[in-house]
């Protein structure tokens, strides 16, 4: 199944509808529209518009644009086949309706030649990527502009005033057209090269800003904020909060070089990230050895706590360390906090403080759940109740989350609750 882009990806890469119209107006419709105008002038609108030719041309251009834009949007461009699709459909219908003689008319042959030339140039550009693409792009624009010059010459030829090419070129106006039109194509190509380079710079910058923003807001929140800026406004929500930090980290780090501490902490964060990415955390906040995760529901928070026990334990055991985890759920105020020029997305409320207190009370390798969260867990998953000392709070208890039994054949020792 094709993955739907999120709001940020859609802003950076555009929509499928936008890709269609861009392909239609910048490539697929050029010759058909020029040919329609040519035949309107030669046959008269009253007669020509009653015939199917114009509508078949537009339909062929539409199908071609749809095929090319879809293939390019999915990252699998097929420029040669796609550019030949329009003349193929047009010729097949024309031959079926009016016979093969219609196919051999000069403007129909020109349609095939221009489509083949543009398709080959686009295929070469796709093969080369960014290297050496500029001359090919300029040539493509010159050839596309030459459509006007060639069809103009066909109009003059149809009028019967010039029997030979030499006679046609004796007129200075004709030479001007034949030289000026490709020159305009070259100028358009240079403008396209400049704009594409600028657009590529903007996209690279946007990708960097996106990455930095995801670090601060998280992928899900950033996508929601781009789709709806009001998603960052301060609002009251019910959230499940998970805190995890390393027991004895301060004493351990005092005895080691800063580089060793940073390496260990980054490895610890990477192990935790693998969990919160797949568990649907709305936000992750990292402070020294502490990880705070925010979830929309309690079930996701408890599942993440279990997964974190298994993911970070091997990393910390190599250093003689272990982490404690606390989970609580409740009302918070969430959104942008701080002065206008120094805002950060955070959440405040007693639920945050309670989760932090539970984390501080958890022993190495232990998960403590508040009564509110434990009430929704099966009794078999819960261990003893522990009184949690917390300044300004009375009756705060933590329930130990019992680790699941080890799979058959797994000889690793279970972590004993403290």
Are residues 381 and 417 in contact, defined by beta-carbon separation less than 8 angstroms?
A: no
Are residues 389 and 337 in contact, defined by beta-carbon separation less than 8 angstroms?
A: no
- Work out whether the CA dihedral 195, 198, 203, 206 comes out positive or negative: negative
Joined tokens for residue 404: 């699941």
- DSSP H helices, 318-394, are 350-361, 371-374
Q: Which residues pair with 329 in a beta bridge?
A: 240
Helix (H, G, I), strand (E, B) or coil at 129: coil
Helix and strand element counts for the chain (H, E): 17, 8
* Degrees, nearest 5: CA angle 310-315-320: 110
The tens-digit pLDDT sequence of the chain (418 residues) is 344 445 566 666 677 888 899 999 999 999 999 989 888 887 888 777 788 888 899 999 999 999 999 998 888 889 999 999 999 999 888 888 777 766 678 888 899 999 999 999 999 988 877 667 889 999 999 999 999 988 888 888 776 666 677 877 888 888 888 889 989 999 999 998 898 888 888 888 888 887 777 777 767 777 777 777 777 778 888 999 999 999 889 899 888 899 999 999 999 999 888 888 888 888 888 888 899 999 988 888 988 998 888 888 888 988 889 999 999 999 989 887 778 777 777 788 888 988 888 888 888 888 888 888 888 888 877 877 777 776 666 667 777 777 665 544 444 444 333 3
Q: Which of 284, 395, 277, 396 is nearest to 346 (CA)?
A: 284
- DSSP H helices, 104-218, are 106-128, 133-159, 165-169, 172-217
Residue ranges of the domains in the chain?
7-215, 233-401
Q: Do strands 283-287 and 235-247 pair parallel, antiparallel, or not at all (unpaired)?
A: unpaired
Q: Which residues pair with 334 in a beta bridge?
A: 235, 347
CA distances from 275 to 130, 194, 272, 278, 322 (A): 37, 43, 5, 6, 17
CATH for the 233-401 domain, from 1.10.10.10, 3.30.70.141, 3.40.50.150, 3.30.70.1230: 3.30.70.1230
d(CA 81, CA 350): 63
């Amino acid at each position: 199944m094709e993955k739907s882009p999120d709001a940020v990806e859609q802003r950076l890469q555009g929509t499928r509808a936008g890709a269609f119209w861009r392909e239609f107006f910048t490539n697929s419709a050029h010759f058909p529209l020029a040919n329609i105008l040519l035949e309107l002038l030669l046959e008269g609108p009253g007669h020509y518009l009653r015939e199917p030719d114009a509508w078949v041309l537009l339909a062929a251009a539409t199908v071609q644009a749809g095929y090319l834009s879809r293939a390019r949007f999915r990252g699998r461009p097929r420029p040669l086949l796609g550019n030949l699709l329009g003349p193929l459909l047009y010729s097949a219908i024309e031959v079926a309706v009016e016979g093969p003689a219609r196919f051999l008319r000069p403007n129909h042959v020109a349609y095939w030649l221009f489509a083949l030339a543009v398709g080959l140039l686009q295929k070469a550009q796709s093969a080369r990527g960014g290297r050496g693409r500029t001359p090919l792009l300029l040539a493509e624009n010159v050839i596309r502009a030459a459509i006007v010059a060639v069809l103009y010459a066909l109009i003059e030829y149809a009028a019967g005033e010039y029997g030979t090419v030499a006679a046609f070129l004796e007129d200075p106006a004709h030479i001007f057209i034949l030289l000026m039109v490709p020159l305009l194509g070259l100028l358009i190509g240079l403008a396209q090269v400049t704009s594409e380079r600028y657009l590529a710079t903007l996209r690279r910058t946007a990708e960097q800003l996106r990455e930095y923003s995801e670090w601060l807001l998280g992928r899900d929140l950033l996508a929601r904020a781009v789709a709806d800026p009001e998603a960052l406004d301060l609002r009251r929500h019910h959230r499940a909060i998970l805190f995890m930090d390393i027991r004895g980290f301060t004493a351990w780090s005092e005895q080691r070089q800063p580089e060793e501490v940073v390496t260990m902490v980054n490895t610890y964060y990477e192990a935790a990230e693998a969990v919160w990415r797949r568990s649907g955390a709305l936000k992750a906040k990292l402070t020294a050895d502490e990880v705070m995760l925010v979830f929309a529901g309690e079930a996701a928070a408890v599942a993440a706590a279990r997964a974190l026990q298994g993911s970070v334990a091997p990393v910390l055991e190599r250093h003689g360390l272990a982490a404690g985890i606390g989970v609580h759920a409740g009302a918070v105020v969430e959104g942008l906090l701080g002065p206008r020029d120094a805002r950060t997305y955070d959440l405040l409320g007693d639920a945050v403080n309670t989760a932090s207190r539970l984390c501080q009370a958890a022993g190495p390798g232990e998960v403590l759940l508040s009564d509110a969260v434990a009430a929704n867990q099966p009794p078999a998953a819960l261990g003893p109740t522990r009184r949690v000392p917390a300044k300004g709070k009375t009756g705060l208890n933590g329930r130990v989350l019992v680790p699941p039994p080890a799979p058959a054949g797994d000889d690793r020792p279970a972590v004993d609750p403290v």
